[in-house]
Amino acid sequence: MSGFPEFNYRGNELFVESVPLRKIAETFGTPCYVYSRSALTKAYQKFETAFAGRDHLICYAVKANSNIAILNLFAQLGSGFDIVSGGELQRVLQAGGDPGKTVFSGVGKSRAEMQLALNADILCFNVESEAELITLNEVAQAMGKIAPVSLRVNPDVDAKTHPYISTGLKENKFGIPASAAASIYQSAHQYSNIRFTGLDCHIGSQLTELGPFMQAGEKMLQLLNTLQSQGLEIEHLDLGGGLGIRYAHETPPTIENYVASLCAGTQHIKQRLLIEPGRSLVGNSGILLTRIEYLKHTSARNFAIVDAAMNDLMRPALYDAYHEILPVINNRAELRKYQVVGPVCETGDFLGHDREFAVETGDLLSVMSAGAYGMSMSSNYNTRPRAAEIMVDQDKTYVIRQRETIDQLIASEQTLPQ
């Protein structure tokens, strides 16, 4: 439990801050996501404190969890934002986020999204291909705007993470090779409505070692030196995100050590440092609360069939990802090994394999470390309404997203005329 300071047992009952999870289930039903305001705030403040004395901007990666309440909390704390769609930009604006602290990443920005971001006066577009740069220049020219741009460089560094979330190798779809990036910067005069303001990279997610970060940073500094020697003014260096969290037995760098390494490696440059943390801000700040519908015992395996499913938390099915699963009431009875599965009609619908509990039908389970890429990746597969989201602030609970209804799911659909 050391990785979840705001989620702790009091006696044999699991609490979030000062609220028993049992009470949240009774009040709001299950499945539901539950977040700790204290955990979110402390994580952000750790980044800010670690950067003390260094010109910097923390841009929260909205894709990790895009709930308006969470975005608003980070905006109040002074955060910037890293977005990957026009929809995420609209969420940031709705939440009171500052577009002047917002960077727009992603390989497939549409013209409409470019127009939306230019009208909002965002800080920077992280451009990922020369074709995108040409299109952005055309859009900005038609609007009479100048688009601030940072090229996302692919440094060809192995992030040593799951291949689906590794983004910094030359065979990945992300970014521009360093040699090509240098050439594009040198041809800046060809783009009348582009202003190159930064240099950017991001090599992947859930990194648990400092080595890949340092390796990528060194390559970025080499490119920065090359560009500056040619007279190009670069205002900021964006080193991306990707710092991992503890799901099981990982030992990722602390926020303090991660930031200290970034600052030490860039202490000789004047550029502002940008980072784009997502998972490390929200991952261990939230859980998925679910109830056991049935216990099924067979000669081969025992199943705890719960009311949450792969549509609620996709990571186990998609990445074979591990999430610790804890009983909300921790009985001392004889333990039994269970496969924790949902009701969706897929064998891949599981939340955890071979977990030992002493549980009964109707008991509650807490799926830990679900604050990142849980709700934001959820779906309506099997026509399942998405879960409610609850924020806990000390002894108070707030609904920050109502549970969907079936009526809402089918409201936009129509039958064919007879």
Q: Catalytic site residue 345?
A: yes
- In the block, tokens 């039908």 appear at 361
What are the φ and ψ backbone dihedral angles of 160, each rounded to 5 degrees?
55, 50
Torsion angle (degrees, nearest 10) of CA 223, 229, 235, 240: 10
Among candidates 374, 314, 378, 322, which has minimal Cα distance to 346?
314
The DSSP result for 73-100, as a single string, is HHHHTT-EEEESSHHHHHHHHHTT--GG
How open is the CA angle 213-254-35, to the nearest 5 degrees? Answer: 110
What are the φ and ψ backbone dihedral angles of 133, each rounded to 5 degrees?
-65, -40
What letters, b where the CB count within 10 A reaches 16 and e where it falls short, cover 138-157? ebbeeeebebbbbbbbbbbb
Q: How many CB atoms lie within 10 A of CB 313?
A: 27
Half-sphere CA count of 385, side-chain side, radius 13 A: 18
Q: Alpha helices, DSSP H only, in 162-254?
A: 178-186, 211-229
Q: Are the beta carbons of 35 and 368 closer than 8 angstroms?
A: no
Q: Are the beta carbons of 83 and 416 closer than 8 angstroms?
A: no
Identity of the amino acid at 198: G
32, 59, 201, 345: the catalytic one is 345
Q: Are the beta carbons of 370 and 301 closer than 8 angstroms?
A: no
C-alpha 395/C-alpha 397 separation (Å) is: 7
Question: What counts of helices (H) and strands (E) characterise the chain?
Answer: 12, 21
* Secondary element (H or E) of residue 388: strand 388-393
Three-class SS state of 178: helix
C-alpha 87/C-alpha 76 separation (Å) is: 21
Q: Are the beta carbons of 343 and 308 closer than 8 angstroms?
A: no
C-alpha 74/C-alpha 62 separation (Å) is: 10
106 burial class (0-12, 13-18, 19+ CB within 10 angstroms)? buried
Q: Which residues are catalytic?
A: 345
